[in-house]
Structure 1
Amino acid sequence: MNRFFSIFLVTFIILFVNCSSEAVDPLPLEETPIATSIYFPPLNSDTWETTSASDLNWNESELQPLLDYLEEKNTKSFIILHKGKIVVESYLNGHTETSPWYWASAGKTLTTAVSGIAQDENLINLNNKVSDYIGTGWTSATLEKENLITCKNLLSMTSGLDDTSGDGIAPSDLQYVADAGTRWAYHGVFLKMQDVIASASNQTWDDYFNAKLKTKIGMTGAWIQTGNLNVYWSTTRSMARFGLLISANGTWEDTQIVSESFLNEATTTSQTINEAYGYLWWLNGKSTYHLPQTQFEFSGELIPNAPQDMYCGLGKNDQKIYVVPSRDLVIIRMGESAEDSNFALSNFDNELWGKLNLLIN
């Protein structure tokens, strides 16, 4: 009897210990949720929280060489954000925090964002032809060929219209070269998307842009007509606000301003000709790319020194918006051309990322 009782007691203790252990074991580490917060600067305020390179375990000794290089390369302003907070903010060559500067073609990405907003509001459909919104006769192509051009063709630079006659967008400037979707060519005709949105919203482009994007994220600045182009001018911090919005998947604090699904589409390859181009965003990490003013296909990544998942707004004379999701980074550069005049990409991009890699590790 005692022997059976002893066996029962030992078995009971083992079962109790095992059950207790299962009840209190924590979840494996990989299943424990990890919160990653993004900081958003308040609207209508100069307040913007900062963090330091040393706090992020960056190589702080490489910061001054980077700033010296930027100054030497005609930079006027430079900002690095990490999770929304300012890590580096520098104004050079007579520029200040309140000085406006032009975005050039980096501002094309503003048109992309507002196009996404208009589609989210069911005002437009990117798959519809442009003439559905602004009427026919907006090009010099035949009606049949003009009606092949969709809003998506404007955002992906595949309108098939001539890109060798300058940036004019009057009908006489927009000559047929190839069917829409069969040729990639960097062209000012994307500005017709602003006309599409103005028509669909029954507002001016400026009014719709201001109400739906600019004021919602606290940007300053204005669109200024420069020749045939409508160019955005603002402070560097306003450009950084926009970059932050995009890096946060279209949200600002708790408000979804541009849908995440649209931004995912806008920052992936938009056509089969230029792998490194989305909807007016340039994409790194692809195996080939095309550049403005040429039909030649280049092998390799757009910016080899930069992270593969980076996408960017690139403007004439080295205006830059770099967004790096894997590192929670937004990087802004404004200024004169670092070396020779250029339309978008330049040698400066890869050289700059060589310097940045030394800082960011």
Structure 2
Amino acid sequence: MSAGDAEALYTKRYRQYATGETGLAAYDTLAPLPGVRKWHPLPAGRSIPQAALAKARDYAAANNSSAFMVWHRGRLVEQSYFGGVRDDTPIISKSLSKPLAVIAVGRAIAKGHIASLDQPMADFITEWRGTPRAAITIRQVLGMRSGLLPQGVASDPADILNRAYLHPYHDRIIIDEYPLVDTPGSRYEYSNANGELIAPLIERATGKPFADWIAREVLAPIGARGGQIWMNRAGGTPHSGCCALMPAETYLRLGILLARDGVWEGRRLLPNGFVRAMTTPTEQNPHAGLGVYIGSPYAEWRGPANPDVTFGRSFHSAPYAAPDLFLFDGNTNQVVYIVPSRQLVILRTGERPPTKPVWDNAMLPNILLHALGADDQAGASGK
């Protein structure tokens, strides 16, 4: 692609973005993201009171949801779809792609392509050697503590925030131009650039295209269906910080993998301790891990940005009813709640809920956790 063609495509994308054109029409270059060759549905069962499931289902239905699913102790106990969505309808991941990318890194560590989370990014993004970015580690990128410019809203088409997302060479822009504004590791700042760096990291570490790595090393081993992924250009680099299109059940399976500590049907897919690393907060943000958010301690309003930033926060009417709950939490309140102690995973995908009444990010898990009660936790501990 010539420089002129690249700029023309960027300009077209920016105009669509600036005028609010979103959804599938905004993703102009999609590539296959294969899943397991022969898909089998998760085993079904009934282990949660039906009244609680109905209450949670009604809450999801009233809030612009496309899918609501609940898995409990090895069984799919709830599967509802809304607005014409079916079990095989591709759901635009938005930031549900970020934990997927973290899991992809875990697989690369398990397969010996990456030494550890504390390996410098510059071992693979060699352009950073001899620069201040050489100090950035993989853990810092996954945990939004790289020191790179925070995410924000920019109305200027020349702004780096827009070019790092929409340009057909967005990976080169992030690697070569994206500003380092804080000392690596010193501050938590949400930035899509961190998530987008995972595709080039995986491709350079493994020698495999990012989509192939996801397909073969993440989706196929957990029996998940695939779909498509947004490319920055034909034959270019996929977006790893957003924009995969896969059925809702695939995102649920990612949560189940983490609820099982990275083990699927007796096979360890993620290194021992990797899920613990994902769910360990830092002093810079007690609610953020690596691609996931930590349920405790309680905060009535909180979001993906630095705790001092008020924009983009979600409301929590009460503390989560399980201290070990963590979650995927993407744009438009697409959530996957994971409670390892209860072997419980809850998914809600869809568009942005109505503004009134405000979406309650604690509602769905707390309805079900309160219904399960203490007996379920006692059973989990063998008492």
**TM-score calculated relative to the size of structure 2:** 0.72
**CA–CA distance in 2 between the matches of 1:320 and 1:290?**
14
The answer to which of 98-107 and 167-176 deviates more is 167-176
Tell whether the 8 Å contact from 1:290 to 1:296 is kept in structure 2 after alignment: no
Match of 2:262 in 1: 250
- The AA in structure 2 aligned to 1:283 is I
Find the partner of 1:174 among 169, 175, 178: 178
Match of 1:44 in 2: 38
**CA–CA distance in 2 between the matches of 1:254 and 1:354?**
30
Q: CA deviation at 1:220?
A: 1.6
Structure 2 SS opposite 1:260: coil
- The AA in structure 2 aligned to 1:179 is T
Match of 2:200 in 1: 195
**CA–CA distance in 2 between the matches of 1:109 and 1:267?**
11
Matches within 5 A, 1:120-135: 120-124=110-114, 125-135=116-126
**CA–CA distance in 2 between the matches of 1:185 and 1:109?**
17
Q: CA deviation at 1:122?
A: 2.2
Find the partner of 2:84 among 94, 109, 112: 94
Q: CA deviation at 1:294?
A: 4.4
Aligned length: 305
Structure 1 residue 266 and structure 2 residue 278: aligned? yes
Q: CA deviation at 1:173?
A: 5.2
Q: CA deviation at 1:62?
A: 3.4
Match of 2:210 in 1: 205
Q: CA deviation at 1:161?
A: 1.1
Match of 1:278 in 2: 289
Pick closer, same or farther for the CA change 1:355–1:83 going to 2, 3 Å.
closer
Structure 1 residue 160 and structure 2 residue 175: aligned? no
Structure 1, unaligned stretches of length 5 or more?
1-41, 341-345
**CA–CA distance in 1 between the matches of 2:59 and 2:242?**
31
Q: CA deviation at 1:76?
A: 0.9
**CA–CA distance in 1 between the matches of 2:218 and 2:244?**
13
Pick closer, same or farther for the CA change 1:158–1:47 going to 2, 3 Å.
closer
Q: CA deviation at 1:350?
A: 2.0
Tell whether the 8 Å contact from 1:76 to 1:93 is kept in structure 2 after alignment: yes
Alignment RMSD (CA, Å): 2.8
Structure 1 residue 296 and structure 2 residue 278: aligned? no
Pick closer, same or farther for the CA change 1:184–1:68 going to 2, 3 Å.
same
Matches within 5 A, 1:1-361: 44-52=38-46, 56=47, 58-124=48-114, 125-137=116-128, 143-163=130-150, 164=152, 166=161, 168=164, 170-171=173-174, 174-190=178-194, 191-225=196-230, 230-269=242-281, 271-286=282-297, 291-294=303-306, 296=308, 304-340=319-355, 347-357=359-369, 359-361=371-373
Q: CA deviation at 1:64?
A: 2.6
**CA–CA distance in 2 between the matches of 1:76 and 1:248?**
26
**CA–CA distance in 1 between the matches of 2:288 and 2:250?**
24
**CA–CA distance in 2 between the matches of 1:99 and 1:253?**
26
- The AA in structure 2 aligned to 1:151 is I
Q: CA deviation at 1:244?
A: 1.5
Q: CA deviation at 1:205?
A: 0.9
The answer to which of 237-246 and 308-317 deviates more is 237-246
The answer to which of 282-291 and 116-125 deviates more is 282-291
Tell whether the 8 Å contact from 1:275 to 1:287 is kept in structure 2 after alignment: no
- The AA in structure 1 aligned to 2:192 is G
- The AA in structure 1 aligned to 2:286 is E
Structure 1 SS opposite 2:361: helix
**CA–CA distance in 1 between the matches of 2:370 and 2:307?**
35
**CA–CA distance in 2 between the matches of 1:290 and 1:68?**
24
Tell whether the 8 Å contact from 2:96 to 2:251 is kept in structure 1 after alignment: no
Q: CA deviation at 1:154?
A: 0.5
The answer to which of 151-160 and 281-290 deviates more is 281-290
Structure 1 SS opposite 2:253: helix
Structure 2, unaligned stretches of length 5 or more?
1-35, 153-159, 165-169, 233-238, 374-383
Q: CA deviation at 1:94?
A: 1.7
Pick closer, same or farther for the CA change 1:295–1:333 going to 2, 3 Å.
closer
Question: Once the two structures are superposed, what CA deviation does each residue of 1:189-216 show, in whole Å capped at 9, x if it has no partner?
Answer: 2221221111011111111221111111
**CA–CA distance in 2 between the matches of 1:183 and 1:223?**
34
- The AA in structure 1 aligned to 2:291 is L
Match of 1:5 in 2: none
Structure 2 SS opposite 1:349: coil
Pick closer, same or farther for the CA change 1:261–1:359 going to 2, 3 Å.
same
Tell whether the 8 Å contact from 2:215 to 2:226 is kept in structure 1 after alignment: no
Match of 2:8 in 1: none
Pick closer, same or farther for the CA change 1:211–1:70 going to 2, 3 Å.
same
Structure 1 SS opposite 2:118: coil
- The AA in structure 2 aligned to 1:175 is P
